[in-house]
Chain A
Amino acid sequence: MSLLEVDDLAVHFGGVKAVDGVSFSVEEGEVFAIIGPNGAGKSTIFNLISRIYQPTHGTIRFDGQDITALKAHDIARLGIARTFQNIELFDHSTVLDNLLMGRHTHRATNFVQDILHLPSVRREERAHRRHVEEVIEFLELEAYREKRIEGLPYGVRKVIEIGRALAIGPRLILLDEPASGLSVEETQDVAFWIEDMRRDMGLTVLMVEHDMGLVAQVSDRVLAVANGRPLALGTAAEVQADRHVQAAYLGSPEAAA
Chain B
Amino acid sequence: MRVVFKKSYDRDIDLHEHWLDRAKIAVLLAVMAALPFLVGNYYLAEAANTLIWALAGMGLMIAVGHTGQVSLGHAAFLAIGAYTDAGLMNAGMPFWIAFPVAGLAAGLFGAVIAIPAVRLSGIYLAIATLAVFVIVEELIIMLEPITGGVGGTMAPSISLMGISFDRYGALANFYWLVLGIVALVTWGYANLMRSPTGRSFLAVRDSEVSARSLGINVTRTKALAFGLSAGVTGLGGALMGHYIGFFNYELFSIFISINLLLVVTIGGLGFIQGAFLGAILITGMPQVIAILRDTVNASTGIDLASLPGIDTMMFSVLLIGFILFEPTGLYGRWLKIRTWFEIFPLARRDMFRRHKTYLKTERMR
Contacts and interface: CB of A to CB of B under 8 A. Distances in A.
Q: Do A and B come from one complex?
A: yes
B364 interface: yes
Contact of B214 (A76, A111, A114, A125): A76
Interface in B306-365: 355, 357, 360, 363-365
Interface in B13-57: 13
B333 to A, nearest CB: 17
Interface of A: 50, 52, 71-77, 81-82, 84-93, 96-97, 100-105, 107, 109-111, 114-117, 121-122, 124-126, 128-130, 150-151, 154, 164, 168, 180-181
A210 to B, nearest CB: 10
Interface of B: 9-10, 12-13, 188-189, 191-192, 194-200, 202-203, 205-207, 209-218, 224, 228, 270, 355, 357, 360, 363-365
A93 B207 CA distance: 12
Contacts of A103: 196
Contacts of A107: 196
- Chain B binding surface SS class: helix
B9 A129 contact: yes
Contacts of B214: 76, 101-102, 104-105, 164, 168
Contacts of A101: 199-200, 202-203, 211, 214, 216
A140 B150 CA distance: 65
Contacts of A125: 9, 13, 194-195
A114 B192 CA distance: 6
A75 B200 CA distance: 16
Contacts of A115: 188-189, 191-192, 195, 197
B207 A89 contact: yes
A66 B9 CA distance: 39
Given A100-B199, A129-B9, A154-B364, A73 B192 contact: no
Contacts of A74: 215
Contact of A93 (B9, B202, B224): B202
A104 B207 contact: no
9 contacts: A73-B215, A91-B357, A101-B202, A101-B211, A104-B203, A104-B214, A114-B197, A121-B195, A154-B364
Contacts of B216: 73, 101, 104
A73 B207 contact: no
B193 to A, nearest CB: 9
Contacts of A86: 360, 363-365
Given A104-B215, A114-B196, 17 more contacts: A72-B213, A73-B216, A86-B363, A86-B365, A89-B210, A92-B202, A100-B196, A101-B202, A102-B214, A105-B214, A111-B195, A115-B191, A116-B188, A116-B191, A126-B13, A128-B196, A181-B365
Given A82-B213, A117-B191, A180 B199 contact: no
